[in-house]
A and B are shown apart, each in its own frame.
Chain A
Amino acid sequence: MKMKTLSVLFAGFCALPLSAQETNSLAQFQQRLDAMQANFERTLAAQRAEIDALKQELAAQRAAPPRPLLAETPPVASGASVLSAPAAPLRIGKGASYMDIGLVGTFAAGGSTANDFESLQLGGHDPNQRGFTMQGVELNLQGAVDSYFRGNANILFSVDGGGESFMELEEAWLETVTLPGNFTLRAGQFLSDFGRINTQHPHSWGFVDAPLVSARLLGPDGLRNPGARLAWLAPTPFFTELSFGIQNSHGETAASFRSEGHSHGGGAKEGVPFGFRHPDNDRGVRGFGDLLFTPRLATSFDLTDTQTLLLGVSAAFGPNSSGGSGDNRTQIYGVDAYWKWKPANAHGGFPFVSLQTEAMLRRYQLGAFDWDENADGRVDAGEVVDPGTGLPAVLARETVTDYGFYSQLLYGFRKDWVAGLRFDYVGGNTADYERLGLTLDGAALGRDPVRDERWRISPNLTWYPSEFSKVRLQYNHDDRARIGRDHSVWLQFEFLLGAHAAHKF
């Protein structure tokens, strides 16, 4: 005690005559000492953590199943060799990680004799301007959530024709791993289980752009929305899967249903029927009837050892937002077939021949609609006019039918080379509203361009420098009724980084 007082006194005595500068250097010394001590403690903590980690690893290796004994023939150890064990975090790409991360970037360059790219290229991520198009950069994350669920997310980054960047949440869902009774339940935002092309991401398509029929009837970005889907594997000797999806029916990714936007006549987007839609119909879910239902049945057979056939029938039922009453409905039906041949000694997946066809039919109930929306009894700008009366048109409820199909043949004629040929056709019946000779701002409307007949033929050639990149050249010969023929050429580039998720058949 006495010593301490003395030393304090001594320190005080010593400090007294010191100049301010010397006090500073003492403080600096103190600071350095503190820093050194902190550093030492950090190092110690890091070493302790390392020791703990090593201990854990040792415990894990002890817990791992013992290696079978090979007394007589021990494997010869070579330079780079390692014992593969489940506990060792060997891999970054797949399996050992908590999440597989993959990134696919797709760009295109080209041009067309057509100028109306909006109605020429129907898919949301199709090349859609002369010069370069950034079709999308897709980030895919997937993995086991826990022992009950697996998770998947697809986030798409893109740059539109105007140079504006945007982001879309294509998919984000979880799915049960082992539900009893051969069921799988999926919930979240997902691509509706309708046909083949709708559930495939653009990078696994055989062509640069979306088929006309799916882009027109299901929507430019396909049919996808938040919801749930139950799929059942039937106990048949061959593959039979029955699925049933329930999703919201509103939003821009449900184009044939209650997609948003109060679009009128000329403002109607491609993919949506000539829109007579009252803003009151753009609403959320009020009841069960406001949801979208998608049943599907798929079945598959191996025709021979080298040939497989997959057949499916799909449907989508839900309300649409046309008219003013809010009780108009859309039905879409689809059939799809996929056949593939690959010889028993194929190398790297080549050669092969595949044929994929989908046909769809949509019945769209157009609600009754009075174009005199401001109810002033006169023709105002932007109102559709009935030439019979010279007044804003009053349209009765009617159901319009649209249909179409595409058929695509892919021939992997040598390793890493695929030649493709696709035929597209879309059309529809001539509706009453198209027969009336309606005019808008003095111009005749005639046949609805988003429902008019059109066909397209697209040969292409794809080269895969490796599994992780591709270069594709495609020519589109378009023939649109009342518009004419157009020629387009697109060159597409794609790269893949990280995990390459296994593809479904």
Chain B
Amino acid sequence: MRTLLLGFAGILLAFSAQAKLNVVCTTPDLAAIAREVGGDRVDITTLTRPTEDPHFVDAKPSFIVKLNRADVLIHGGADLEVGWLPKLVEQARNAKIVSAAKGNVRCCEGVQMLEVPTTLDRSEGDIHAAGNPHYLVDPANAKIVAHHLAAAFAASDAAAGETFQANAAKFSAQLDAKLTEWTAQFAPFKGAKIVSYHKSWSYFAQRFGLEMNLFLEPKPGSPPSAAHLAGVIAKMKEQGVRVIIVDPYLDRKTAETVARATGAAVVDVAQFPGGVKGTEGGYIALMDHLVNSLTKALTK
């Protein structure tokens, strides 16, 4: 009996030593980076799907259960998840992930935010007080997030701290190498104009020297009106814009209508790995796909 108990205790000890960090990520892009940094030392749960609009997610009760068991919560911050995450964290009853806890990782910290409004005025549309929250489409910001995650994982699992740091460094090195490639691919298209539906590609445009100043929606969050689209079509013709990009959750039909009127091509893009076919492999696979499909469309 005693040996049995001892054996049982031994198994428990071994189990707890081996226990992986339970990591909950709000969006699949954060999850992809968490996977690179955490490796086999973390179990990752992603709340939103890659095809989903991350601004509008239902605060499903099943998320409460996932957050209740989390060691670390990774979120973009910058108000991206403000419409649904706070209520979930409130109900999760988990001291490890409340806003002040070390297990609550706001990835936007340290990121140079774009489009931070000087005044908050909702007549300008649904603007984010902390700036444009779609910062992860700039690979440089992915490196910042990777470093955040290494530090956050190490804080919860000190024994694997070096592994996390090494993984983050490896991922950063890969990104650096890739970034040189991607920048070279975009070099012939410096200043090329691309139309997007929502203002969610500013960081990408800035990184690769593209111009994305035309949007299918008149103001962030407002549906496109006929008058606005007519204006966009006129400007596209005038400026010779040949590419329109659309995220999976946005209305492709509107983009197609504008494309027909202007002779431009519609390119399916996603901010999240798995959002378009061929991007399931992770963050680098996603960026590869984005760079390849956009440079291809711009070449035409």
Query: Which A residues are within 8 Å of any B CB, using their own CB?
Result: 65, 67-68, 70, 72-78, 80-86, 90-95, 144, 147, 150, 175, 177-179, 182-184, 233, 236-239, 241, 298, 300-302, 305, 308, 310, 340, 342, 344-349, 415-416, 466-468, 500-505
- The yes or no answer to B100 lying at the interface (CB within 8 A) is yes
- The yes or no answer to B118 lying at the interface (CB within 8 A) is yes
In the bound complex, what is the Cα–Cα distance between A80 and B55 (angstroms)?
22
Whole-angstrom distance from the CB of A214 to the nearest CB of chain B?
21
| Contact yes or no, B109 A504, CB < 8 A | no
| Residues of the A chain whose Cβ atoms lie less than 8 Å from the Cβ of B222 | 466
| Residues of the A chain whose Cβ atoms lie less than 8 Å from the Cβ of B51 | 344-345
- The yes or no answer to B12 lying at the interface (CB within 8 A) is no
Given A468-B122, A502-B86, the answer on whether A82 and B61 have CB atoms closer than 8 Å is no
Whole-angstrom distance from the CB of B158 to the nearest CB of chain A?
17
Whole-angstrom distance from the CB of A141 to the nearest CB of chain B?
15
| Contact yes or no, A90 B68, CB < 8 A | no
In the bound complex, what is the Cα–Cα distance between A89 and B220 (angstroms)?
24
With most chain A CB atoms within 10 A of its CB, the pick from B61, B77, B179 is B61
| Contact yes or no, B126 A94, CB < 8 A | no
How many B residues have CB within 8 A of the partner chain? Answer: 71
In the bound complex, what is the Cα–Cα distance between A238 and B64 (angstroms)?
9
| Residues of the A chain whose Cβ atoms lie less than 8 Å from the Cβ of B223 | 415-416
| Residues of the A chain whose Cβ atoms lie less than 8 Å from the Cβ of B53 | 346-349
| Contact yes or no, A346 B56, CB < 8 A | yes
In the bound complex, what is the Cα–Cα distance between A345 and B197 (angstroms)?
15
| Nearest 6 pairs of A and B residues by beta carbon | A239-B61, A300-B61, A178-B95, A349-B56, A68-B147, A502-B87
Sample of 7 further A-B pairs with CB below 8 A, known A175-B90, A502-B83: A70-B140, A75-B206, A78-B206, A85-B109, A90-B129, A340-B58, A347-B53
In the bound complex, what is the Cα–Cα distance between A463 and B124 (angstroms)?
19
Cβ-neighbour of B110 out of A80, A85, A340 (below 8 A): A85
In the bound complex, what is the Cα–Cα distance between A82 and B130 (angstroms)?
9
In the bound complex, what is the Cα–Cα distance between A91 and B106 (angstroms)?
15
In the bound complex, what is the Cα–Cα distance between A90 and B223 (angstroms)?
28
| Contact yes or no, B49 A344, CB < 8 A | yes
Given A84-B109, A94-B79, the answer on whether A73 and B126 have CB atoms closer than 8 Å is no
B72-88 near A? 1/0 per residue, CB < 8 Å: 00000111001111111
Cβ-neighbour of A467 out of B114, B138, B221 (below 8 A): B221
Q: Which of B69-128 contact A (CB under 8 A)?
A: 77-79, 82-88, 90-95, 98-100, 106, 108-118, 120, 122, 126
Stretch at the interface among B34-42, B187-195, B243-251, B292-300: B243-251
Whole-angstrom distance from the CB of B250 to the nearest CB of chain A?
6
With most chain B CB atoms within 10 A of its CB, the pick from A73, A177, A236, A305 is A73
| Contact yes or no, B110 A84, CB < 8 A | yes
In the bound complex, what is the Cα–Cα distance between A91 and B248 (angstroms)?
30
In the bound complex, what is the Cα–Cα distance between A33 and B204 (angstroms)?
61
